[in-house]
Structure 1
Amino acid sequence: MSNRLEQAILDKEFIKRLIPQKDPFVMVDRLLYFDTDTLTSGLEITTDNILTDGDNFSEAGLLEHMAQSTALYRGYQGYQNEGANTTPKIGFIGAIKHATIYMLPKIGTTLITTAKIIAEVMHVTLIDIVVKDTNGTIIASSQMKTVVTNA
């Protein structure tokens, strides 16, 4: 497929309207690519992020970033279908498989995360996720099953 974005979305306030999470628990801050089954999101890790541990982004932060990338996919899909008045769908992680954390990124690192939909059945989505830094180094990967509860 091809990118459905005219340009990357870097407006953090707009991104926050697309996901159900609220500050200080927002773990995505940009939408770089979107098509029918793939999204690329990003996050600049800052010192005020509550999921940092010392100088590093934590394992929990990486997993939450992956899950919120999935929420961003749903949120932008809803925005495309319903317009600006769309309400983000609430969901949860049903399962995490094959989660591998290769390294903990330092504060100041920008994560670039690609989430690819593998299968969707009713309100359950199976998604492969790979997190890299801006140099292309793989930081983490997983397969998540997410469930939307207010679809």
Structure 2
Amino acid sequence: MGLTPKDLDFATTATPEKMKQMFEKENIRMINAKGEKHGTITPRINDKENFEITTLRVDVVTDGRHAEVQYTTDWFLDANRRDLTINSMFLGLDGSVYDYFYGYEDLQNRRIVFVGDPVTRIQEDYLRILRYFRLMTAMKRELQHNSVRPIVNMRRFNESVMKVIQ
């Protein structure tokens, strides 16, 4: 899209414990963050910049906002639990793009598309509704009926919005 990313998120097959061991061995400071129970470790490099590094995972149980996770080494399984196709791509260290759900094509066409069933994705985490609309606005796109209709038609849409607001 011709934009410079504001932050980079990293994914790894290393568990949080393994990452902590590696960073401690190299005397790299880690920021205490709430994300560790979901597999995220935040090292601070050169006392200048924080990087979020998250262990590949699957969501075992979700309640509409939080998930119980299980770590995996399967990149496809991690991509499959994500909310949007453009958020399910991985860039390998060699520059290869791993794109299981055509997120690159969606990005090129400025489409925001849920991975799999939109209702399921939203019920896993209601904040995904806001994320969808934020990204649509950022891309200056018109709302697409394929993705918006499930949001509007959700039987408990009003309850979902209230959970997001709370």
**Structure possessing the higher relative contact order (Cα contacts under 8 Å, 6 or more residues apart):** 1
Q: TM-score with structure 1 length normalisation? A: 0.24
Q: Which has the larger radius of gyration?
A: 2
Q: TM-score with structure 2 length normalisation? A: 0.23
Q: Which has the higher helix share?
A: 2
